[in-house]
């Protein structure tokens, strides 16, 4: 950064600094698997990019929410270590598997929408992609089995969740079902994978996974459907060309943006209403207060230009959604649901 008394004109400083800043930002987006990325030649960075680390965060957070809602998590080294292992299963392994297999089957769409992605750009050969898919899947299921053993489950709940979630990921991306071809069904499958599945894993690891929690998190996943819709805006051109019925393709950009934010807000407020019904009023009020800034950012960024501001919106508004998930988990744990 230049000193304030430098004689260099501000315009020259801007001109010189901008390319370097853009290059640095582009490289970071490449590594995280975000759009607007630069090319990458390091094969291990390319493997990581296929796993889209930025998408791990909701799944890792879902494990935290499930552990909180179990009511049995305690802050001691063994519990922290085993919860971290569960996060590795949900994030790097199984979400990485999901993202890699999605890129594998979406290579034709990505050639239109995001030609810089590793597969359509030719930066990584398909056999390496297939190996990565299998390694991540096997590692995730193996960790799930280990977690079941630690928890002393007579029925391998977490292993079944891992296999079931991986199957949903497969049919979401792969023909002939390819759930993502249907905007509603595909986005709900994705939303449930973001919220319900890791929540169930965290809850089963430290407590009992009850039918009530399963139903509540499946309903909460309708807010996750709204999150999933955000990802469709960047692909609307390729989806339209290849006949995929995403919500922006079916309803248009503006209507789909309103559907997206409405799903997120309505089902969070619905969860706040449920917390009030079980007399967890303080948690309900906190959840409502978290929705307010979320709505503000929705209006500031997403509703005005969802194509341009999708990443900015996700960075500003979605932290309030994930904090709301934790508040809900703590409330359920406190209530003993």
- Element at 135 (helix H, strand E): helix 126-151
pTM: 0.85
Give residue 28's pLDDT. 58
Q: Which residues of 196-208 are buried (b: 16+ CB within 10 A; e: fewer)?
A: bbbbbbbbbbbbe
> 110-119, 176-185, 236-245, 307-316: which has the minimum mean pLDDT?
236-245
Q: What is the largest CA-CA distance in the chain?
A: 73
Per-chain mean pLDDT for the chain: 88
Is the distance from CB of 117 to CB of 110 less than 8 angstroms? yes
Which pLDDT tens digit goes with each residue over 275-328? 999 999 999 999 999 999 999 999 999 999 998 888 888 889 888 998 999 999
pLDDT band for position 238 (cuts 50, 70, 90): confident
pLDDT band for position 244 (cuts 50, 70, 90): confident
Q: How many helices (H) and strands (E) does the chain have?
A: 16, 0
The CA-CA-CA angle for residues 158, 31, 90, to 5°, reads: 5
CATH of region 40-335, choose from 2.40.50, 3.30.70, 1.10.600, 3.30.450: 1.10.600
Q: Please give the share of the chain, as a percent, with pLDDT higher than 70.
A: 88
Residues 6 or more apart whose Cβ sits within 8 Å of residue 302:
230, 257, 260, 261, 309, 310, 313, 317
Helix (H, G, I), strand (E, B) or coil at 288: helix
Per domain, the residue ranges of the chain are 40-335
Interval 108-120 mean pLDDT: 87
Is the distance from CB of 328 to CB of 68 less than 8 angstroms? no
- Element at 102 (helix H, strand E): helix 96-105
């Amino acid at each position: 950064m230049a000193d304030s008394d430098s004689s260099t004109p501000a315009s020259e400083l801007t001109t010189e600094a901008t390319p370097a800043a853009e290059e640095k930002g582009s490289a970071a987006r490449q590594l995280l698997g975000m759009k607007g990325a630069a090319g990458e030649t390091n094969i291990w960075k390319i493997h990581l990019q296929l796993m889209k680390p930025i998408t791990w965060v909701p799944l890792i957070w879902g494990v935290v929410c499930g552990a909180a809602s179990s009511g049995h998590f305690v802050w001691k080294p063994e519990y922290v270590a085993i919860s971290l292992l569960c996060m590795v299963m949900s994030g790097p392994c199984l979400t990485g598997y999901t993202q890699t297999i999605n890129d594998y089957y979406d290579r034709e769409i990505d050639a239109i929408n995001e030609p810089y992605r590793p597969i359509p750009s030719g930066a990584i050969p398909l056999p390496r992609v297939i190996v990565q898919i299998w390694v991540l899947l096997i590692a995730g299921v193996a960790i799930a089995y280990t977690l079941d053993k630690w928890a002393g489950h007579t029925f391998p709940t977490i292993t079944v969740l891992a296999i079931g979630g991986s199957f949903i990921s497969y049919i979401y991306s792969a023909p002939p079902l390819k759930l993502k071809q249907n905007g509603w069904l595909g986005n709900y499958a994705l939303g449930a994978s973001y919220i319900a599945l890791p929540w169930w894993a965290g809850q089963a690891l430290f407590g009992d996974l009850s039918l009530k929690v399963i139903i509540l998190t499946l309903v909460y996943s309708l807010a996750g459907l709204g999150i999933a819709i955000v990802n469709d805006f960047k692909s609307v051109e390729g989806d339209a060309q290849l006949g995929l019925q995403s919500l922006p393709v079916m309803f248009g950009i503006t209507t789909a943006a309103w559907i997206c934010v409405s799903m997120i807000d309505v089902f969070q407020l619905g969860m706040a209403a449920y917390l009030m019904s079980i007399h967890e009023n303080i948690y309900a009020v906190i959840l409502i207060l978290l929705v307010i800034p979320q709505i503000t950012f929705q209006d500031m960024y997403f509703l005005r230009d969802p194509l341009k501001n999708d990443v900015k919106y996700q960075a500003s508004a979605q932290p309030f959604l994930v904090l709301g998930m934790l508040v809900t988990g703590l409330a359920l744990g406190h209530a003993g649901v």
